[in-house]
Amino acid sequence: MSRRMTVYDITRGIDEYRHGLSDERYESSLTFADLPAKLMIKVFSYLSHSELCRICLVSKRWRELAYDSRLWTNLRLRPEFGGLSVSNVSQFVDLIGSRFSTALRSIDLPCELITVPVLEEIARQCVNLRYMTLDFSKAMQLHDYNDLVDFPANLYYLCVCLSDVIFMEGLMRKIYHCLSTVQVLHLIGTFEQSSEEEEEIYEVINISKIKAHTPNLRVVNLYGVMFVDDSHVELLSFNCVHLECVALNFCIKVTGSSLKNLLEKCKKIKTLLLHHCELVDAHMMAVDWEHSHVKELDITSTELSANCLENVLTRIRSLEYLAVGYCDFFTDAVMEKLMETGNLRELRAIDISYTCNLSEPVIGKFIKRYGPQLLGLMLHGKPLLNEFFWTANIPLLKNIKICTLGQRDGWYFELNTKVHIDQVINAFASHCPKMERLEIQWDVATIRFSHKSGKFIDDIRTRCPFLQSLTLADGGYYEMANSNFERAQRSRVVRTFNRYATSIVQLLSCYGDLLFN
């Protein structure tokens, strides 16, 4: 994967071209400034908005081109997520019509910019706006929206980042009537910011009213919203017949008691994400899974019993995506029964990481049967799966795109023998040409490598042309791999798992709609 083009790359390329010409040809050669506007805009499209703001100082022509509305279709205004910082709100309001106008398709706004003048100007000038994020997560007080009369009315995607202390009704009651076109709704809670101390939890947004005004919802993501419980999930059963994906990850009050009604009334639901919910066996087994259309299920970090897991998973007619990581009761017997029923015949991605009661022989049997069809496999946190297991089974993963393996230092017990990392890398390079993301979690004290390891890193770099990330433990081997890819001008590929986590979620059918900041 090529790295992002910068202003330095552009000017360097021009200089190299000009210096390569003879003196006679140099006098008549074109400069970058002589390129047609269409080509310059194409080059500028590779730059970030902050870089565009800098190059506008070069000349009047560059300023005109850098501020072309075609380069500002997706506007990010939260500096903490790499966006621009706006210091003058009134000047920003003036720019909405002159610079962005009808070209603007997507915008995210921090709390200080979610004001009446900004929202109304966006509604009037940006009629093609389809994606909007309103971030109140750091707000301590809500602006006065009593005078708000206009709001974007053609949104496809709406994301609201909530605060624990800001009640949203003052804004929401002014915009409910504009939400009928919304098909993707994200309400992002504060689970990741919560402390272990018990704090009073407030229902800061009215999900019932939102649901009543969004009849076309296809995807609902209530990520880490602390007040969400089964009664809120029950509300989705009414007036949301088009639902295809319900994501309740880190909604710790959800027990599953409303899933039966939800799946009976919303027949189109294909994706159900319940990561870290407090699911109860009886509620899950009460669901009529046989007649549901669920094909993608995430129950990572839940406490469901082996009996419940077997009951639920064997009644789902066909699983395409299954995440059961950190499920202690996903045992050999459950996996054997699941393979026996044939419910995995269309499986393309599975997460069975840190399943301590799933043995090596059963995992090997699973890979032998389903490995050739898998696109994603997460199998880290399994200390007994050493290099011999992987070199024997990697050849079966001929279509794999995402894979995680190894174990981090401190989990379970340390390996008594070193892992020959070159053999594992060579196996992936030889048999997995479609590999896009690979994470190897063995730490530097566990793996064995030498100065000859560079040859095997060369192999995976050249024979896996779609590789976007190679995630390793920080240390000598990481430095060697990183240097190798940097010399090939692919500096963003090699990463450490302290800063980047590989996941199979991008293999979900609705992954694009589930993205949020």
User: How many Å apart are CA 475 and CA 32, to the nearest integer?
Assistant: 43
Domain assignment present for residue 502? The answer is: yes
Domain assignment present for residue 404? The answer is: yes
Q: Please, which pLDDT band fits residue 445 given cuts at 50, 70 and 90?
A: confident
Q: Please, which pLDDT band fits residue 28 given cuts at 50, 70 and 90?
A: low
Q: What is the pLDDT of residue 350?
A: 98
Q: What is the pLDDT of residue 427?
A: 97
Q: What is the pLDDT of residue 98?
A: 84
Q: What is the pLDDT of residue 14?
A: 53
User: How many Å apart are CA 463 and CA 418, to the nearest integer?
Assistant: 26
Per-residue pLDDT tens digits for 80-124 = 988 999 989 999 999 898 888 899 999 999 999 999 999 999 999
Mean pLDDT to the nearest integer, 405-418: 68
Find the CATH number of the domain harbouring 485: 3.80.10
Domain of 48 in residue numbering reads as: 36-70
Domain assignment present for residue 497? The answer is: yes
* Closest listed residue to residue 447, CA positions, set 474, 482, 487: 474
Domain assignment present for residue 376? The answer is: yes
Per-residue pLDDT tens digits for 418-435 = 899 999 999 999 999 999
Q: What is the pLDDT of residue 9?
A: 60
Mean pLDDT to the nearest integer, 165-182: 95
Q: Please, which pLDDT band fits residue 15 given cuts at 50, 70 and 90?
A: low
Domain assignment present for residue 291? The answer is: no
Mean pLDDT to the nearest integer, 197-215: 87
Q: Please, which pLDDT band fits residue 195 given cuts at 50, 70 and 90?
A: low
Task: Name the packing angle between helices 332-341 and 306-313 (round to 10°).
Answer: 10
| Count of structural domains within the chain | 2
Q: What is the pLDDT of residue 1?
A: 44
pLDDT above 90: percentage of residues in the chain = 76
Q: What is the pLDDT of residue 453?
A: 95
3-state secondary structure of 472: strand
pLDDT surpassing 90 at residue 174: yes
Q: What is the pLDDT of residue 517?
A: 78
| One-character DSSP codes across 203-255 | --S-HHHHHHT-TT--EEEEET-TT-BHHHHHHTTSS-TT--EEE-TT-TB--
Chain centroid offset of residue 48 CA: 20
3-state secondary structure of 157: strand
Q: Please, which pLDDT band fits residue 26 given cuts at 50, 70 and 90?
A: very low
Per-residue pLDDT tens digits for 143-157 = 999 999 999 999 999
Domain assignment present for residue 77? The answer is: no
pLDDT surpassing 90 at residue 220: yes
Domain assignment present for residue 408? The answer is: yes
- Which bin fits 208, alpha (ψ -120 to 50), beta or left (φ > 0)? alpha
In terms of C-beta distances under 8 Å and separation of at least 24 residues, what long-range contacts does 307-316 make, across chains too? 307/281, 308/281, 308/284, 309/334, 310/334, 310/337, 310/338, 311/284, 311/285, 312/284, 312/285, 312/287, 313/338, 313/343, 314/338, 314/341, 314/343, 315/289, 315/290, 316/289, 316/290, 316/292, 316/343
pLDDT surpassing 70 at residue 55: yes
- Better pLDDT: 258 or 29: 258
Domain assignment present for residue 326? The answer is: no
Q: What is the pLDDT of residue 105?
A: 96
Question: Poorest-confidence range of 92-96, 284-288, 412-416, 431-435?
Answer: 412-416
Task: Round the average pLDDT of the chain to a whole number and report it.
Answer: 91
Domain ends where: 54, 70, 86?
Answer: 70
In single-letter form, the type of residue at position 486 comes to E
Q: What is the pLDDT of residue 2?
A: 47
Per-residue pLDDT tens digits for 349-407 = 999 999 999 999 999 999 999 999 999 999 999 988 989 999 999 999 999 999 999 98
Per-residue pLDDT tens digits for 310-330 = 999 999 999 999 999 999 999
User: How many Å apart are CA 421 and CA 441, to the nearest integer?
Assistant: 11
